Amino acid sequence: MCGLLAMLTSGADAEKYVGAARDALPCMRHRGPDAAGTWNDDHAVFGFNRLSIIDLEHSHQPLRWGPEENPERYALTFNGEIYNFVELREELTGLGYSFNTEGDSETIVVGYHHWGADVVNHLRGMFGFVIWDTETSTVFAARDQFGIKPLFYATTEAGTVFASEKKSILEMADAIGLDLSLDRRAIEHYVDLQYVPEPESLHAGIRRVESGCTVTLKPGGQVESERYFTPSFQVQPVAKGNEQDLFDRIARVLEDSVAKHMRADVTVGSFLSGGIDSTAIAALAKRHNPDLLTFTTGFEREGYSEVDVAAESAAAIGAEHIVKIVSPEEYADAIPKIMWYLDDPVADPSLVPLYFVAETARKHVKVVLSGEGADELFGGYTIYKEPLSLAPFEKLPATLNRGLNRLSRVLPDGVKGKSLLERGTQPMEARYYGNARNFNFEQLQRVLPWAKPEWDHREVTAPIYQWSKDLEMDPVARMQHLDLFTWMRGDILVKADKINMANSLELRVPFLDKEVFEVAQTIPHDLKISHGTTKYALRKALEQIVPPHVLHRKKLGFPVPMRHWLAGDELFGWAQDQITASQTEDIFDKQAVLEMLKEHRDGISDHSRRLWTVLAFMVWHGIFVEKRIDPQIEQRDYPVQL
C-alpha cells in the first residue's frame, strides 16, 4: 500500500522532469512514510512512497526486473497488495523464472513478462500499477477489478503523468503545462450524486483509469484503455432443498478470502461496527490472529453510535476492542484536512468518523480489514427491495401510470404516498441512481443555476443500465450492477482508500475479492431479498461465524447526526461562515444556499444532505482553487513495523 508517480515523456527528455517528480512525492508521503525513491531513463520518470507491509527489508520501488538476457528491462511502480502472490511465485518459478525479492510486487512484472496484458486476470488483490517496458517503449498500467486502489492520469504536450493521488499531478502542473480549469460537467455530476463519477475528476485535465481497466501508452501517444473485467451478475437457479450447498460455498470462499487478506509481515487488525459484514470479517480474522484488535467509533448522541453493539461483538469473538468517540468540535476541525486528503470532495458525512477511527487504529496496527462491498455483492441495501414493492405498478395500463406520475408531481412534498406514486410510475432507469439521491433537478437548479438537464445523473447511469440490460440481469441485479460502477467506486472505495491512507493505514476489503464475486454473482434474487431481510444467503452462510445478536441486525455503519448538528449550535454557525466566505459565486447561488440552511434550522425542510454536498465542495474549493483555507497537514512519523 503506497503512493506511485510515473511520467512517460513525449520526447527523450525525462531528466528535465525528475526534479518536479521528486518535489511532487512529499504531498502523498502519508501513503508511504517508510521509504521514498525515484528512477528515470531517457523517456520515463518513476517515483514512489512506500508503506512497508510485505518483505519489509526488500521489495523497494521503483522496482527493476528483467529476464536473463536483459535483467533491467522493466520498471514497476505499484500501489496495493496481491494476495495470491505466494501461489503466483510458485507457478512462475515452475515456469523457469527467478525472483530477487520475497514480496508481491515482483510477481506483477514477472507475470507481465510471461502473460502480457493478461497478467491482470491472474492477480487476486487490490492494485494500481504502472510498468515501463524499455525494450518495446510501452507503458502498461492497470487498476484492480473493483477499483479499490486509485490511479489518476493527465496528458499534456510534455507527456502523461500517472499518480495514486491527484495532488501529485497538481504539484507537477507547471512543469508539464497542465490546464487547471474546472470541469463544469463533473461539478454538476458531483452535486447530483455527492461524488465525482469515474473517469472524471473536478479538474478538466485530470482523469482516472477506470476500475477493471488496463491502459497502454507509447511516448508521445494517447492513453488507450481496455476493460478486462466486467462484474456481471449471472444468476444460477438453486433447486429447492439444495440451498445449503450455496450457503456453504459462500462461507468457504469468504473464509479463504480472509485468510489471503491476512498475509502480511506486520500486525493486521479489523474495523468493527454493529453490523454483520464487519463482524463476519473480524470473526474470521480472529482465527488467524488470536490477539486480534478491533476498532470502532461513534458519537455521544443517542441513536448515532454502534459502540455498545460492536463491543458486545468483540467480546463474543474474543477480540480486544478499542473505541474512539468523536465530538462535534473534532468533527468540524477535521473537515478541511479530510477534503485535502480526498483530492476531490465526497459528500459522505461518515468520512469524518472513519478518519478518527483510522487514526486510532494506526497507533496499534498497520493493516486493518473491513466489510466494504458486502451490500453490493450480496444484496444488502434496503432499496433493493423496491422492485418487489413497486411490482403492482407494472400491471397498470401505461396511460394510468402516466396520469399517476403527473399527479405525483403536483402533490406537495411530505404528502403521504407522493414518493410511492412518483417512483412507482417511473422506469428503474429514471428513478434509481444509487444510494445518493439528494437533489431532484428543480432543487439542483436552485443552488446550481447553470445546471443542464442533459448533464444530470442519467448521463452517468444510462450506459451502465444499457449494459446490464444487454446482459439480461434481473431488476435487483441491475441495481447491484449500477452500484458497483457508481456508488461503490465513487463513494465507498474512495473514502476507504483516501481516509485510511491519510493515516498511513492499509485497509483491506475481503468481500471485494474476485473469487468471492464468482460465488456472489450466481445468487438468485429470492436468496438475496427473502424472509423479510436483505443478504439472506450471506446471513445463512454466516450463522456459524457471527454472534447471534448481529446475525439479523440492520447495519448502521458510522452514522453521523448531521441533520441535528446543521440545525443546532454544533455546526450551523460553521456552515454559515463557510458559505459566506466561499468564493464560489460563479458556481453556486450562495443566497439560495443560505436560505436552505435557514430553512433547515427552522425545521421547514430537511436539507442536511444537500447542504453537506455544497459545503464539502466549498471547503474543497477553498483549499485547491482559492488557496484560502489551510488544511494544516502535519508530517507524522510512524514506526516502520507494528
Q: If you compute the radius of gyration of the chain from its CA atoms, what whole number of angstroms results?
A: 24
In this model, does residue 557 exceed pLDDT 60? no
Cis peptide preceding 199, ω within 30 of 0:
yes
| pLDDT score recorded for residue 558 | 62
Residue 544 has φ and ψ, to the nearest 5°, of -95, 5
In this model, does residue 95 exceed pLDDT 80? yes
Local confidence band at 22 (pLDDT 50, 70, 90 cut-offs): very high
In this model, does residue 640 exceed pLDDT 70? no
| pLDDT score recorded for residue 408 | 83
Local confidence band at 85 (pLDDT 50, 70, 90 cut-offs): very high
| pLDDT score recorded for residue 258 | 98
Can you tell me which residue has the cell 499534456? 156
Q: What is the pTM of this model?
A: 0.95
Mean predicted confidence (pLDDT) in 466-486: 93
Binding-site residue numbers for L-glutamine are: 104
Local confidence band at 407 (pLDDT 50, 70, 90 cut-offs): confident
CA atoms within 13 A on the CB side of 153: 30
d(C-alpha 33, C-alpha 637), whole Å: 7
In this model, does residue 641 exceed pLDDT 70? no
In this model, does residue 332 exceed pLDDT 70? yes
Mean predicted confidence (pLDDT) in 54-62: 87
At a CB cut-off of 8 Å and minimum separation 6, what does 66 contact? 72, 73, 74, 113
Q: Write down the mean pLDDT value for the chain.
A: 94
CA atoms within 13 A on the CB side of 371: 26
C-alpha closest to that of 443 among 626, 188, 70:
188
Binding-site residue numbers are: 104, 370-371
| pLDDT score recorded for residue 349 | 92
Local confidence band at 1 (pLDDT 50, 70, 90 cut-offs): low
Mean predicted confidence (pLDDT) in 41-66: 93
In this model, does residue 175 exceed pLDDT 70? yes
d(C-alpha 40, C-alpha 555), whole Å: 49
High-pLDDT (> 90) share of the chain, %:
82
| pLDDT score recorded for residue 555 | 61
Q: What are 414-435's pLDDT values in tens digits?
A: 788 888 888 888 889 989 998 7
Local confidence band at 216 (pLDDT 50, 70, 90 cut-offs): very high
Mean predicted confidence (pLDDT) in 456-482: 93
Q: How do beta strands 268-271 and 367-369 pair?
A: parallel
Binding-site residue numbers for ATP are: 370-371
In this model, does residue 376 exceed pLDDT 70? yes
Bigger pLDDT: 150 or 639? 150
Q: Could you list the active site residues?
A: 2
CATH code for residues 2-227: 3.60.20.10
In this model, does residue 249 exceed pLDDT 60? yes
How many CB atoms lie under 10 A from the CB of residue 440? Answer: 13
In this model, does residue 31 exceed pLDDT 70? yes
In this model, does residue 177 exceed pLDDT 60? yes
At a CB cut-off of 8 Å and minimum separation 6, what does 403 contact? none
Q: Where are the beta strands (DSSP E) in 198-273?
A: 207-208, 213-217, 224-227, 268-271
In this model, does residue 531 exceed pLDDT 90? no
Local confidence band at 186 (pLDDT 50, 70, 90 cut-offs): very high
In this model, does residue 554 exceed pLDDT 90? no
| pLDDT score recorded for residue 411 | 84
Mean predicted confidence (pLDDT) in 486-495: 96
| pLDDT score recorded for residue 639 | 67
Q: What are 217-226's pLDDT values in tens digits?
A: 999 999 999 9
In this model, does residue 468 exceed pLDDT 90? yes
Domain 243-326+348-380+485-551 has CATH 3.40.50.620: yes
Mean predicted confidence (pLDDT) in 517-531: 94
In this model, does residue 642 exceed pLDDT 80? no
Provide DSSP, 501-570: HTTT-EEE-TTS-HHHHHHHTT--GGGTSBTTBSSHHHHHHTTTTS-HHHHTPPP--S---HHHHHHSTT
Local confidence band at 494 (pLDDT 50, 70, 90 cut-offs): very high
Local confidence band at 40 (pLDDT 50, 70, 90 cut-offs): very high
| pLDDT score recorded for residue 304 | 66
Q: What are 570-601's pLDDT values in tens digits?
A: 999 999 999 999 999 999 999 999 999 999 99
C-alpha cell at 588: 453556486
Residue extents of the structural domains in the chain: 2-227, 243-326+348-380+485-551, 392-476
